[in-house]
Structures are given as C-alpha cells and as structure tokens.
C-alpha cells in the first residue's frame, strides 16, 4: 500500500532523527521588544536572530509599513507580470540599484526564491556552476534544479574554484558564493574570486545576505569591503531579512541580465509579488542604513567585546569578525545541552545541527545586534563560562 509505505518511511526517518538528536522543534515567540523575547512564559535575551541593526521594530520602518498598508492594502493581488508590480516596488528597486551602483533591481518575496530563479533562468544542461561548499542551501538547490553541472570547491579555496572552472567545455559558467557565510560568519575571498571569474570568463554571483547593511562604507557590504563593484560582480543578491529587518530580497545587475530573469524565471513569474507595504518598509530601512552609521559602529564594538571575552575564556572562536560568532561543539548532544543551559540562565541561543552544518560540527550560532548592550554581552559570556566550566570569568572591558 503506497500510504502504508509512506507512513513507514516517515516513522523510520523520525526515529533516525531522534536517535541522532536531530529533531527540530519550533519555539513560539509570544512577544518581542528589541532583543528581549517571551518564550514559554519566560523573558529571554535573544542571541540567535539576524536583526543586526535593530530595524525590524524601528518606528520609521513600522510606520512606513502601516501607512503603505492603509493606502495600498495587505497583498499585491497578483504576480509581478500580471498586476502585482506596484509603484512602491519600482521605487525600491530604483533606490537599491542607485545605492549599490547597478543598472537595475528586481524585488523578490524571499532570498530562497531569488536564488532558485536566478540559477534556473541563467543556466541549463551543458552549463557549469561552481560554488563554495558552505554556500547557502538555496544556491545549491538553484543549481541542481537548473540541470547544469554543479561543482563545489572546498571552503574559500580560490585555486580549487579556478581548477573547477577550467573543466568547462562549452556553455555558460557561473561562480556563485555567499559574501558572508551564514553559519561560520567569515567572509568570502571576493577579490581573488573576481580575478578567477574574469580569467575564466565566468559570471561572478554573490549572495550578500549577511554583509549588506553591516559591512563596508555606508553599509554597502562585502563587495565594498573588497573594493569591488558591478563590473567585477555582475549579479548581487541582497536578502532583506537580516540587516534590513524585513522580508524579501533584491537582485541587482545589468538591464539585460535582470530583464532576462524577470521575463523567464519560473519562481518569479509564477509567484504573487511581495506586498507593496513591505517594499515601503524596506525603503525606510534603506534610508536608516544610509543615514545612521552609529548602528554599524555600535555593532562592531559589541562584536569586538564578545570576541575579547570569549578569547579570555578559551572558547573555540572562528575567524569571524561579523555579527555571526559560532561556538563549534561537535556532536548534537553537546550543542543541545549548552543551549538548554543558556536558556536556564536567561539567554536564547538555538543549537544548530546537521544538515544545516556538516556532520560533527554542531554549534551555537551566536549573533549580535546593535540592540544588545554591553551588559547583555557580558552576561552571555558569564553564562557560557559557567555552562562550559571555564576557569576564568569574563572581565568587563
């Protein structure tokens, strides 16, 4: 019986997850104010979100969302190619393209949708996509669904990326990478990858979900840090659920390439366009990112404070100077145990386990926001020290 076979398969898969301590449970956030969240009736300080600049609840952003919803309604009512492309979408696309130095922008409902759309639209059988092994899942899935040849090089290994590109026979080649890697927090070697892409006549595509808004002059992200622009990186994706504090993603590129994606990408053509009110809110976020550099400065100060304290405790830090500060623990049980101990101490830090990270690299993915303060950081370090049995307690800087 097909239904019985499916039930047996699901039961076996669940049993395997339980045995590996890989069961995922959604926690209900009952209320949130800044970095304070109410979970199961307890107030906790969250160190596991991506609201790096504290814009998700900023009054200007909320007001822009509310006003646009009052004028234009909740939904866009159609796909962008039919009736869903609104003046707010068009204005946001223009402003983002101008800010980051690209000819055209294209607003998507999610970053996952955008990466599926880009790679399926530009690649096909006979083409090649070369990717970092630690790229986000949506970049990998987009390449697989395009039916191109997918090659994945060891993390940040530029020479391996070049060797893989050199295997191309005919067709199009795309070199795709995260700008900042979401689970490790380190930055891709973009300057070197740009040279490789140019030498091998490949299009360099960067998903800078965790870079734009946080890194570089005016918060223009990983490309600005590396001294690159639209010429070296013809396609850039800016997901909006991190520093922008909202939802969706903006693809940036040339009129020709972005126009082709807008006219041919199935995930874009057959999805309802994002709410106009979200575009209005993200325009407000963009204005704050550009006009309030103190948010990035405070965030950088808190990252440095955490790293100093963690180093003094002998914690296993990664080479990350971004708001993503992973503590790699190895097995799932240890990560879950430490997460539970921190929750008892008043801190919400979710354990990250395979397949999100490689096997035996379960971790706590600690993320900082400018909404945190020094007392929050010091308290988290003290809780980590107690939970791990560290010899030294963190000293205020």
Mark the binding-site residues for pyridoxal 5'-phosphate, compressed into ranges: 111-112, 182, 210
The single residue listed with the structure tokens 């996509």 is 129
Count of residues making up the chain: 397
Spatial separation of the C-alpha atoms in residues 113 and 121, rounded to whole Å: 12
Binding residues: 24, 111-112, 136, 182, 210, 356
Distance from CA of residue 169 to its chain's centroid? Answer: 33
DSSP codes, 324-345:
EEEEEEESHHHHHHHHHHHHHT
HSE-up of residue 257 (Cα within 13 Å, Cβ side) = 23
Distance from CA of residue 244 to its chain's centroid? Answer: 11
Spatial separation of the C-alpha atoms in residues 250 and 58, rounded to whole Å: 21
Q: Which residues contact 380 (CB under 8 A, 6 or more apart)?
A: 45, 47, 306, 342, 347, 349, 366
CA distances from 56 to 5, 53, 278, 284 (A): 44, 8, 11, 11
Q: Are 238 and 209 in contact (CB under 8 A)?
A: yes
Please name every residue paired with 366 in a beta bridge, in sequence order, or none if there are none.
Answer: 325
Coil vs helix vs strand at 78:
coil
Coil vs helix vs strand at 117:
helix
Compute φ and ψ for 7, nearest 5 degrees: -60, -40
Spatial separation of the C-alpha atoms in residues 350 and 329, rounded to whole Å: 13
CA dihedral for 146, 149, 153, 156, sign (positive or negative): negative
């Amino acid at each position: 019986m097909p239904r019985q076979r499916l039930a047996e398969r699901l039961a076996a898969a669940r049993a395997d997850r339980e045995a590996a301590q890989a069961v995922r449970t959604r926690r209900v956030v009952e209320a949130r104010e800044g970095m304070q969240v109410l979970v199961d009736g307890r107030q906790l300080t969250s160190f596991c979100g991506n609201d790096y600049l504290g814009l998700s609840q900023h009054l200007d952003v909320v007001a822009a969302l509310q006003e646009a919803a009052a004028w234009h309604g909740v939904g866009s009512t159609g796909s962008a190619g039919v009736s869903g492309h609104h003046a707010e979408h068009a204005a946001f696309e223009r402003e983002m393209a101008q800010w980051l130095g690209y000819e055209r922008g294209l607003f998507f409902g999610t970053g996952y949708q955008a990466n599926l759309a880009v790679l399926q639209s530009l690649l096909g059988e006979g083409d090649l996509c070369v990717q970092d092994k630690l790229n986000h899942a949506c970049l990998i899935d987009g390449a697989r669904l395009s039916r191109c040849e997918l090659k994945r090089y060891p993390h940040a290994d530029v020479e391996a990326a070049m060797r893989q590109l050199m295997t191309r026979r005919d067709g199009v080649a795309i070199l795709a990478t995260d700008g900042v890697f979401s689970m490790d927090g380190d930055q891709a070697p973009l300057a070197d990858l740009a040279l490789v892409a140019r030498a091998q006549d490949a299009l360099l595509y960067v998903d800078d979900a965790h870079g734009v808004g946080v890194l570089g002059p005016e918060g223009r992200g990983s490309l600005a840090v590396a001294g690159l622009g639209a010429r070296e990186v013809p396609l850039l994706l800016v997901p909006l659920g991190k520093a922008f504090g909202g939802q969706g993603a903006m693809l940036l590129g040339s009129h020709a390439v972005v126009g082709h994606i807008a006219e041919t990408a199935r995930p874009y053509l057959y999805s309802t366009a994002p709410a106009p009110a979200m575009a209005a809110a993200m325009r407000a976020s963009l204005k704050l990112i550009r006009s309030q550099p103190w948010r990035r400065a405070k965030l950088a100060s808190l990252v440095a404070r955490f790293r100093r304290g963690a180093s003094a405790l002998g914690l296993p830090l990664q080479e990350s100077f971004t708001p993503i500060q992973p503590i790699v623990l190895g097995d799932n049980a240890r990560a879950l145990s430490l997460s539970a101990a921190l929750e008892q101490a008043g801190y919400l830090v979710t354990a990250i386990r395979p397949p999100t990270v490689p096997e035996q690299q379960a971790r706590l993915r600690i993320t900082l926001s400018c909404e945190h303060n020094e007392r929050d950081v010091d308290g988290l370090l003290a809780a980590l020290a107690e939970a791990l049995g560290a010899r030294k307690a963190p000293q205020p800087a």
